[in-house]
Structure 1
Amino acid sequence: MKVLITGAKGQLGRGLIASAPSGTTLVPVDIDECDLTDADAIRSLVQAEAPDLVINAAAYTAVDKAEDDEETARAINSGAVAALAGAHTGKMVHVSTDFVFDGTSPRAYVPKDVRNPVSVYGRTKAEGEDHLRSGDILVRTAWVYTAGGANFVRTMLRLMAEKPALNVVTDQIGSPTWAPVLAETIWGLVAKDASGTFHHSDAGVASWYDFAVAIQEEALALGLLQDAIPITPVPTSAYPTPASRPAFSLLDCSKTRDLLDDGYTHWRTNLRKMLKEEASLG
Structure 2
Amino acid sequence: MITITSTQNPHVKNVIKLNDRRARDEARRTVVEGAREVGLALGRGVVPVEAFICPELIDGPAAETAARHLVTIGQTGMSEVFYVSPEVFAKMAYRGGSGGLLLVVAYRPARLDDIQIRGVPFLVIVEEAEKPGNLGAVLRTADAAGVDAVIVPIPPGSRGTDLHNPNVIRASLGAYFTVPAVAAPSDEAIAWLRAHDIAIVAATPAAETLYTAADLSGRVAVAVGSEAWGLGEAWLAAADVRVRIPMSGQVDSLNLSASAALLMYEVVRQRGGAGEQGGRGAGEIDS
Shorter-chain TM-score: what band? under 0.3
**Structure of larger gyration radius:** 2
Task: Tell me the TM-score normalised to structure 2 length.
Answer: 0.22
Task: Tell me the TM-score normalised to structure 1 length.
Answer: 0.22
